[in-house]
Amino acid sequence: MLEIVQRFAEKGYQIEPEALEMIRSYSGAREELVGQILSNIDGSIVVIRAGHISDILSPCEGLVRHACNSEASYGVVAPSGAGEGLDVAGLHGSKAGDFHSLSGKEPCRPGFEVNSDITGNSTCVGEYEDFVRYFRDRYSKIREILSRRLNVRPIESLGKSMAGREVSLIGMVMDVRTTAKGHRVLELEDPTGMVVAIIQKDSELFEQSSYIVPDEVLGVTAVSDGNGRVFVKTLLWPDMPNQCKSLEAGTGFTVLTSDLHVGSKYFMEDAWERFVAWINGDVEDPSGLASQVKYIVIAGDLVDGIGIYPGQEGDLAIKDIYEQYEAAAQCLNSIRKDVEMVLSPGNHDIVRQAEPQPALPMSVQKFFSGSMHFVGDPAWVTLEGASVLVYHGRSIDDLVMRVPGMSYNEPEKAMVEMLRKRHLSPIYGGRVSIAPEHQDHCVIHEPPNILHCGHVHTVGIARYKGVVAINSGTWQSQTEFQKKMNIQPTPAAVPIVDMATMKVKKLLFA
Ligand SMILES: [Fe+2]
């Protein structure tokens, strides 16, 4: 049994005696069971308890997301040891691609697919080498996008012989600052070296350069001084292509929502019930839209959580996290069963705070019925042929603080910056805590049709180079904290997308 304890310890888990006993008395192949536990366990858990193992051994629950994820096409990191080579779907007696709902009764709609997220694929240990690998992966992915438009040279080649010559470089921004004389100075790094890039205050680029944030990857053309400095002539962000791939004509409508904050005193239960009555066809619907809703995507903060901010107890109507999820499940379970739902977590949910976040754990998933699909944050899903990138949006806090012109009232502007930077959460060391996975799951590797965020409690809708960027608001009314901070939420306003045309409407249930 020592070997088993050791195996869990190597992956950063402790195991309680009851759980160890469950493994010891398991009648099947123990090694297979350990692999299964390691590949299914929620990465935020420190101590593996008997309940976690019971959840994993439950055949229906384990089946769901791994069957869906077995079709993964991007960003799925090969598990490093944890469950490596394990055919999870096979273990559960189901074929890959054989999609099922949580209840195991209803098949996923043919137009629905989970493409990738972090759940069950975390490689993060948090050692120095992990950070090196994580940033190298970010650099190489974004460099590949930029290389299509720039013929670049490595930074190490900028010797004396290059003095006065124009060069193109792709670098990660190690630092960006304004000098006492008002010039902007970047420290740009690539795997071969570092260079100081100067944007003079009277340059046409100066205003553009105020959008540069630390740790993003961008391209420059510049004149080298042959001595470790370059004077920037153009800035190039990876950006979205000008022409987007054509969209398969889907059918029906998708509701995008987020930040229910069930359990908070400020959760707008009446408004939610009006929404449910509408979608279920229990009230008159002159628009005829309700019956055409095929999907609901929730971008995090399903519950208010506990201990998220100082003094939160005073704002809670339900003080137990599991009771909060039971109440949230009741809210969603009352929606008609032919609507497929995608649930991604946020910073108030019961998963690790560091991004990327895994899907909600089985101990919570069990409260939900119907066609629920639990995905990580961020996650790529395909609905009716349209690719939807779901991200809670915590990085909007950092972007609002760093980039001029960004505000909580217009979150879509920060989302457009994400698209331009081809990264959901570029700044390291700000509000967002980043888990150094071997791959950077926050790179926007291809243009999505829809980018869906939440977090800031304000509805914002923009169309940028063929991508529809939608922040889906909240179901929580203005809290005392928000009043003090002068934050004006737009609760109970629901963006709904026509999957044939990508046109967006905003419905009000307040
Ligand atoms: Fe949030």
Note the pTM of the prediction, 2 decimals.
Answer: 0.79
Could you give the CA distance from residue 175 to residue 189 in angstroms, rounded to a whole number? 10
Q: How many CA atoms lie within 13 A of 327 on its CB side?
A: 24
Question: How many Cβ atoms sit within 10 Å of the Cβ of residue 196?
Answer: 14
Distance 490 CA to ligand 1 centre (A): 14
Give the distance, in angstroms, between the CA of residue 293 and the centroid of all CA atoms in the same chain. 23
Task: Give the DSSP letter string of 107-118.
Answer: PPPTTEEEEEES
Could you give the CA distance from residue 147 to residue 61 in angstroms, rounded to a whole number? 43
Same fold, 149-236 and 253-508: no
Distance 475 CA to ligand 1 centre (A): 12
Distance 159 CA to ligand 1 centre (A): 47
Could you give the CA distance from residue 135 to residue 153 in angstroms, rounded to a whole number? 19
- Length of the chain counted residue by residue: 510
Could you give the CA distance from residue 82 to residue 122 in angstroms, rounded to a whole number? 9
Distance 390 CA to ligand 1 centre (A): 13
User: Does an H or E element contain 186, and which?
Assistant: strand 184-190
Instruction: Tell me the domain boundaries of the chain.
Output: 2-117, 149-236, 253-508
Do the beta carbons of residue 228 and residue 158 sit within 8 Å? yes
Residue 224 β-bridge partners: 230
Quick one: which of 52, 101, 50, 142 has its CA closest to 340?
Answer: 101
Distance 453 CA to ligand 1 centre (A): 10
- Mapped onto helix, strand or coil, the DSSP state of residue 230 is strand
Distance 5 CA to ligand 1 centre (A): 36
Distance 456 CA to ligand 1 centre (A): 7
Question: How many Cβ atoms sit within 10 Å of the Cβ of residue 365?
Answer: 19
Distance 135 CA to ligand 1 centre (A): 25
Token code pair at residue 306 = 């506990």
Token code pair at residue 450 = 């829809």
Distance 324 CA to ligand 1 centre (A): 16
Distance 285 CA to ligand 1 centre (A): 31
What is the full per-residue pLDDT of the chain (510 aa) written as tens digits?
767 877 776 676 667 777 887 888 777 778 778 877 876 776 656 667 777 777 666 533 322 232 232 222 222 222 222 222 222 222 222 222 222 233 333 445 667 787 777 777 777 666 778 888 999 999 999 999 999 888 899 999 998 999 999 999 999 999 999 999 999 999 999 999 999 999 999 999 999 999 999 999 999 999 999 999 999 999 999 999 986 666 777 899 999 999 999 999 999 999 999 999 999 999 999 889 999 999 999 999 999 999 998 889 999 999 999 999 999 999 999 999 999 999 999 999 999 999 999 999 999 999 999 889 999 999 999 999 999 999 999 999 999 999 999 999 999 999 999 999 999 999 998 888 888 888 999 999 999 999 999 999 999 999 999 999 999 999 999 998 888 878 899 999 999 999 999 999 999 999
pLDDT for the residue 92:
26
Distance 228 CA to ligand 1 centre (A): 42
Distance 505 CA to ligand 1 centre (A): 23
Query: Which residues lie below 8 Å from residue 388, measured CB to CB, with a gap of 6+?
Result: 254, 297, 380, 381, 382, 448, 449, 450, 452
Cβ burial, residue 384 (10 Å; 0-12/13-18/19+): buried
Distance 260 CA to ligand 1 centre (A): 10
- AA letter at 223: V
pLDDT for the residue 5:
74
Distance 496 CA to ligand 1 centre (A): 21
User: Does an H or E element contain 363, and which?
Assistant: helix 362-365
Cβ burial, residue 217 (10 Å; 0-12/13-18/19+): buried
Could you give the CA distance from residue 502 to residue 410 in angstroms, rounded to a whole number? 20
Quick one: which of 358, 373, 378 has its CA closest to 44?
Answer: 358
Could you give the CA distance from residue 496 to residue 252 in angstroms, rounded to a whole number? 10
Token code pair at residue 354 = 């560091």
Quick one: which of 309, 169, 159 has its CA closest to 234?
Answer: 169
Distance 476 CA to ligand 1 centre (A): 11
Query: Which residues lie below 8 Å from residue 132, measured CB to CB, with a gap of 6+?
Result: none
Could you give the CA distance from residue 461 to residue 416 in angstroms, rounded to a whole number? 10
Residue with tokens 């008002």: 182
Distance 468 CA to ligand 1 centre (A): 21
pLDDT for the residue 56:
66
Distance 267 CA to ligand 1 centre (A): 14
Selecting from 2.40.50.140, 3.40.50.2000, 3.40.50.970, 3.30.365.10, what CATH number does the domain 149-236 have? 2.40.50.140
- Residues 127-164 as b or e (16 or more Cβ within 10 Å = b): eeebeebbbebbbbbbbebbeeebebbebeebeeebee
Distance 444 CA to ligand 1 centre (A): 21
DSSP 508: E
Distance 116 CA to ligand 1 centre (A): 21
Distance 296 CA to ligand 1 centre (A): 18
What is Dmax (Cα atoms) for the chain? 76
- AA letter at 89: A
- Mapped onto helix, strand or coil, the DSSP state of residue 386 is strand
User: Does an H or E element contain 14, and which?
Assistant: strand 14-15
Could you give the CA distance from residue 145 to residue 217 in angstroms, rounded to a whole number? 10
DSSP 359: P
Examine residue 378 and say whether the peptide bond preceding it is cis (omega within 30 degrees of 0).
yes
Give the pairing of strands 217-224 and 229-236: antiparallel
Do the beta carbons of residue 350 and residue 361 sit within 8 Å? yes
Could you give the CA distance from residue 69 to residue 13 in angstroms, rounded to a whole number? 24
Residue 213 β-bridge partners: none
Give the CA radius of gyration of the chain: 24
Distance 454 CA to ligand 1 centre (A): 7
Distance 346 CA to ligand 1 centre (A): 5
pLDDT for the residue 246:
67
The CATH classification number of 253-508 equals: 3.60.21.50
Distance 354 CA to ligand 1 centre (A): 13
